[in-house]
């Protein structure tokens, strides 16, 4: 007696189809499972055995062999329980379904036969649709998430007995459930209208988001760096449906998807604590899961107190910041996760936090150098904008004047990004921060006066080739914000202010 049932397993943020084969034959009574299985999949036979018994079905006293194919893919998770149970019931003749080859199913089974939710349903239903399956059976708790994929029949079940009835009776009708695809407003708890003073830093943040540049804010404690960072999501443009689906799949795989709200509409804002491990930041594990940089995909990764992070941890960011993705290799395979985020970082200028105010700062030259050595120059070179956050005076803190709102700033950001998307529509990138070095001269071409000015600045500030290109990219964004087709000297001057933390910035006279 032989049967086959279709299911899927998560691989990265996508899914691959898996065939669950059941063979029941004469021989020594044994329940054997093969097919490159993780420990939780191997445990499925005990959950399935108990669930079938409690549902009133007794396994035959024969040799039962379950094969999960293809054997080259590592199978993880508890979502194989339901297809294994159905494959066994089909092999012994309890289930007789003519459309089994058009059905994909997944779900964990409790010992009493209840179907429990699993992670990665959005990704697995997407894979089923791409492979022309007509019906997907999922745990009822995952039904809203599965319904986000249109064009395929999705059925939610809560008991194994329901699955048996649906398959035997052909009850493949989708029940009506509340829609979760409505429009949700952008949820923002913080608004730039709440921030007094810091006009230069506000401007730097607008420039950063307009061109999707990474930004580092430097200033003493209490200057408002963290508050400013939390306001940045309020000026991010809305995501299109493809971006929403990509983000939602990442959160579904990570078990962080809130299906009651439907597809994730708001760009993510992730702010991990400085004690986070390298694995937690970039992803990994024996069976890899997305890390914070992938959860921040298409949004903001905020690293507060940057110098407090382990140096080995933040240095891992260098390659993902360039490639916009991270690849994790394990014995089970190589997993690639998207990591297209804007890095927003904040730090104090020294250990006590008050340099260069020598009335408050008592750090030695060696102490400041040791403090700054926690961040490597290659990492700083990947941060396009560095802005200072000075201490606010009393009048600025208590000012009751009306500040510019995030709504007004966001409208300017969207206009600037529209210019970039039109300019780069025939290329693989969308924003000024992503202009490759090979195209710098094409999109950041300087006039005669501007070229002479930059030659002088190159010598004056001892710029490197990477810093020079960084200045041009930021200047291109500032020119777009002004609606100017050409980069002017004024744009270059402002861009040079953001060039980064060089030696002259940190020169101490103690």
User: How do residues 291-320 score in pLDDT, each as one tens digit?
Assistant: 999 999 999 999 999 999 999 999 999 999
Residue pair 76/10 in contact (Cβ under 8 Å)? The answer is yes
Neighbours of 193 (CB within 10 A): 16
Q: Which residue has the higher pLDDT, 398 or 193?
A: 193
Q: Cα–Cα distance between 205 and 342 in angstroms, integer?
A: 11
Query: Pseudo-torsion of CA 328, 145, 255, 55, nearest 10°?
Result: -110
Q: Are residues 238 and 358 in the same domain?
A: yes
Q: Are residues 65 and 204 in the same domain?
A: no
Q: Are residues 159 and 271 in the same domain?
A: no
Q: Are residues 156 and 218 in the same domain?
A: no
Instruction: Identify whether 199 is part of a domain.
Output: yes
Note the pLDDT of residue 361.
84
Note the pLDDT of residue 339.
93
Note the pLDDT of residue 468.
93
List the Cα angle 327/330/336 in 5-degree steps: 20
What φ, ψ does residue 150 adopt, rounded to 5°? -90, 165
CATH code for the domain in which residue 240 is found: 3.40.50.300
Q: Are residues 322 and 398 in the same domain?
A: yes
Q: Are residues 240 and 142 in the same domain?
A: no
350 pLDDT band (50/70/90 cuts)? Answer: confident
Instruction: Identify whether 198 is part of a domain.
Output: yes
Q: Are residues 279 and 165 in the same domain?
A: no
Instruction: Identify whether 185 is part of a domain.
Output: no
Note the pLDDT of residue 433.
94
Q: Are residues 299 and 165 in the same domain?
A: no
Residue 224: pLDDT over 80: yes
Note the pLDDT of residue 176.
65
Note the pLDDT of residue 182.
46
State the total domains in the chain. 2
- Looking at the chain, the whole-number percentage of residues with pLDDT higher than 70 is 95
Q: Cα–Cα distance between 136 and 172 in angstroms, integer?
A: 10
Residue 184: pLDDT over 50: no
Structural domain boundaries, residue 463: 192-497
187 pLDDT band (50/70/90 cuts)? Answer: low
Residue 65: pLDDT over 80: yes
Highest mean pLDDT among 182-191, 358-367, 417-426: 417-426
CATH code for the domain in which residue 54 is found: 3.30.230.10
SS (H, E, C) 392-444: CCHHHHCCCCCCCCHHHHHHHHHHHHHHHHHHCCCCCCCCHHHCCHHHHHHHC
Instruction: Identify whether 180 is part of a domain.
Output: no
**Kind and range of the H or E run holding 54:** helix 44-54
Q: Are residues 133 and 227 in the same domain?
A: no
Residue pair 405/191 in contact (Cβ under 8 Å)? The answer is yes
403 pLDDT band (50/70/90 cuts)? Answer: confident
Residue 507: pLDDT over 80: no
Instruction: Identify whether 460 is part of a domain.
Output: yes
**Closest C-alpha to 146, from 113, 118, 121:** 121
Single pTM value for the model = 0.87
Q: Cα–Cα distance between 286 and 279 in angstroms, integer?
A: 11
72 pLDDT band (50/70/90 cuts)? Answer: confident
Q: What is the mean pLDDT of the chain?
A: 89
According to DSSP, residue 494 is labeled: H
Instruction: Identify whether 378 is part of a domain.
Output: yes
Q: First-to-last CA distance in the chain?
A: 86
Note the pLDDT of residue 179.
53
Between β-strands 283-284 and 30-34, what pairing exists: parallel, antiparallel or unpaired?
A: unpaired
Q: Are residues 131 and 230 in the same domain?
A: no
Instruction: Identify whether 419 is part of a domain.
Output: yes
Q: Cα–Cα distance between 151 and 134 in angstroms, integer?
A: 8
Q: Are residues 30 and 80 in the same domain?
A: yes
Residue 278: pLDDT over 50: yes
- Over residues 475-487, the pLDDT tens digits come to 999 999 999 999 9
Instruction: Identify whether 179 is part of a domain.
Output: no
Least confident of 31-45, 153-167, 323-337, 392-406: 392-406
Q: Are residues 279 and 382 in the same domain?
A: yes
């Amino acid at each position: 007696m032989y049967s086959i049932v279709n299911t899927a397993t998560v691989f990265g943020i996508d899914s691959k189809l898996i065939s669950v084969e059941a063979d029941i034959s004469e021989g020594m009574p044994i329940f054997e499972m093969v097919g490159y299985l993780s420990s939780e999949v191997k445990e499925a036979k005990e959950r399935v055995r108990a669930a079938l018994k409690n549902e009133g079905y007794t396994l035959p006293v024969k040799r039962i062999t379950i094969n999960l194919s293809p054997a080259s893919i590592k199978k993880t998770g508890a979502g194989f329980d339901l297809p294994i149970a159905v494959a066994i019931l089909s092999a012994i003749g309890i289930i007789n379904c003519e459309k089994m080859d058009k059905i994909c199913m997944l779900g964990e089974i409790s010992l009493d036969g209840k179907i429990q939710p699993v992670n990665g349903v959005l990704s697995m239903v997407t894979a089923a649709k791409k492979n022309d399956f007509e019906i997907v059976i999922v745990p009822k708790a995952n039904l809203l998430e599965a319904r986000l994929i249109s064009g395929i029949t999705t059925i939610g079940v809560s008991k194994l007995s329901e699955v048996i009835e649906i398959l035997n009776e052909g009850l493949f009708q989708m029940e009506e459930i509340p829609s979760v695809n409505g429009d949700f407003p952008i949820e923002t708890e913080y608004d730039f209208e709440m921030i007094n003073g810091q006009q230069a830093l506000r401007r730097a943040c607008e420039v950063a988001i307009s061109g999707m540049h990474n930004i580092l804010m430097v200033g003493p404690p209490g200057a408002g760096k963290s508050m400013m960072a939390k306001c940045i999501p309020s000026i991010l443009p809305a995501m299109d449906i493809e971006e929403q689906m990509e983000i939602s799949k990442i959160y579904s795989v990570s078990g962080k998807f809130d299906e009651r709200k439907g597809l994730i509409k708001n760009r993510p804002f992730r702010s991990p604590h400085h004690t986070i491990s390298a694995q937690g930041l970039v992803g990994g594990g024996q069976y890899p899961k997305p890390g914070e940089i992938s959860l921040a995909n298409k949004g903001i990764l905020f690293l507060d107190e940057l110098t407090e992070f382990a140096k080995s941890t933040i240095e891992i960011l260098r390659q993902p910041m360039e490639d916009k993705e991270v690849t994790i290799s394990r014995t089970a395979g190589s997993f690639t996760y998207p990591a297209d985020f804007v890095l927003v970082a904040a730090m104090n200028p020294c250990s006590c936090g008050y340099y260069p105010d020598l009335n408050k700062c008592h750090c030695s030259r060696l102490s400041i150098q040791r403090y700054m050595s926690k961040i490597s120059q290659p990492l700083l070179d990947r941060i396009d904008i560095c802005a200072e956050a000075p201490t606010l005076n009393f009048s600025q803190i208590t000012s009751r004047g009306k500040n510019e709102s995030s709504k007004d700033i966001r409208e300017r950001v969207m206009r600037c990004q529209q210019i970039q998307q039109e300019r780069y529509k025939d290329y693989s990138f969308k924003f000024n921060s992503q202009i490759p070095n090979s195209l710098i001269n094409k999109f950041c071409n300087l006039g005669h006066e501007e070229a002479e000015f930059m030659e002088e600045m190159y010598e004056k500030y001892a710029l490197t080739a990477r810093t020079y290109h960084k200045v041009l990219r930021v200047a291109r964004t500032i020119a777009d914000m002004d609606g100017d087709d050409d980069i002017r000297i004024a744009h270059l001057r402002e861009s040079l202010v953001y060039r980064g933390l060089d030696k002259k910035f940190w020169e101490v006279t103690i």
